[in-house]
């Protein structure tokens, strides 16, 4: 599952498991994924957005105080549904930026896209929003910034909603052509 992930991203996911255990959570939530990005100062997301400087603010805002070290549990924790969506968004963002390996910067973008979590608000309070983060990452990659871009969710959703209409329209055109051809042949 994590073949495309860079080593730093794999470590971030490992740290998210640790964060979830510290919070006595049964699942890995987006909040744990965000806090995992603050563990290594050298990861790309931290280099670009200085997330480690906001660790305490994130913990307080998300209601995840650091607890004393607990004994490690042997079982792995599953991702919550929102955690799964974050990882799906992460892969989409990497593809959108034409990045083959998935880095922590893509994980950050995935976190910003998750609407059913308080993580995007916490990042906004730290001065990080989806549009500016994408442009900052593009700048780092040497790709030109984009002033305005459609959200992948709305873009795909609008195309899907037009498909039945387009199919019906095409059917009407084909039937009209068949009718005209039949009339020409019989006369």
**What's the pLDDT at 164?**
77
Could you give the number of structural domains in the chain? Answer: 2
**What's the pLDDT at 72?**
56
Tell me: do 27 and 116 sit in the same domain. Answer: yes
CB–CB of 96/152 below 8 Å?
yes
Domain span including residue 132: 7-141
Distances (CA, A) of 106 to 22, 41, 52, 55, 93: 25, 16, 17, 19, 6
Question: Positive or negative, the Cα torsion across 113, 117, 123, 124?
Answer: positive
Ranges of the chain whose pLDDT falls below 50: 71, 154-155, 157-158
**What's the pLDDT at 158?**
45
CB–CB of 146/161 below 8 Å?
no
**What's the pLDDT at 11?**
95
Q: Is residue 17 a part of any domain in this protein?
A: yes
Q: Is residue 42 a part of any domain in this protein?
A: yes
Q: Is residue 182 a part of any domain in this protein?
A: yes
Angle (CA) 101-54-81 rounded to 5° is 55
CB–CB of 82/114 below 8 Å?
yes
Run of H or E residues at 112: helix 104-113
For tokens 């042949």, the residue is 185
Tell me: do 120 and 176 sit in the same domain. Answer: no
**What's the pLDDT at 161?**
57
Tell me: do 59 and 125 sit in the same domain. Answer: yes
Helix residue spans in 23-151 (DSSP H): 30-36, 44-49, 55-62, 81-96, 104-113, 119-125, 130-141
Q: Is residue 1 a part of any domain in this protein?
A: no
């Amino acid at each position: 599952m994590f073949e495309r992930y860079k080593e730093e991203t794999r470590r971030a996911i490992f740290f998210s498991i640790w964060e979830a255990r510290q919070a006595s959570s049964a699942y890995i939530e987006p909040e744990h994924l965000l806090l995992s990005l603050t563990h290594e100062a050298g990861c790309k997301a931290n280099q670009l957005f200085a997330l480690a400087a906001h660790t305490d603010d994130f913990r307080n805002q998300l209601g995840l105080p650091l607890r004393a070290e607990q004994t490690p549990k042997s079982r792995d924790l599953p991702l919550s549904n929102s955690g799964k969506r974050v990882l799906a968004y992460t892969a989409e963002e990497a593809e959108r930026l034409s990045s083959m390996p998935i880095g922590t910067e893509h994980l950050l973008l995935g976190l910003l896209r998750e609407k059913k979590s308080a993580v995007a608000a916490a990042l906004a309070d730290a001065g990080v929003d989806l549009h500016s983060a994408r442009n900052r990452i593009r700048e780092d990659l040497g790709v030109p910034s984009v002033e305005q871009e459609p959200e992948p969710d709305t873009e795909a959703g609008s195309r899907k909603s037009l498909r039945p209409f387009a199919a019906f329209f095409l059917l009407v055109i084909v039937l009209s052509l068949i009718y005209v051809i039949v009339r020409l042949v019989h006369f």
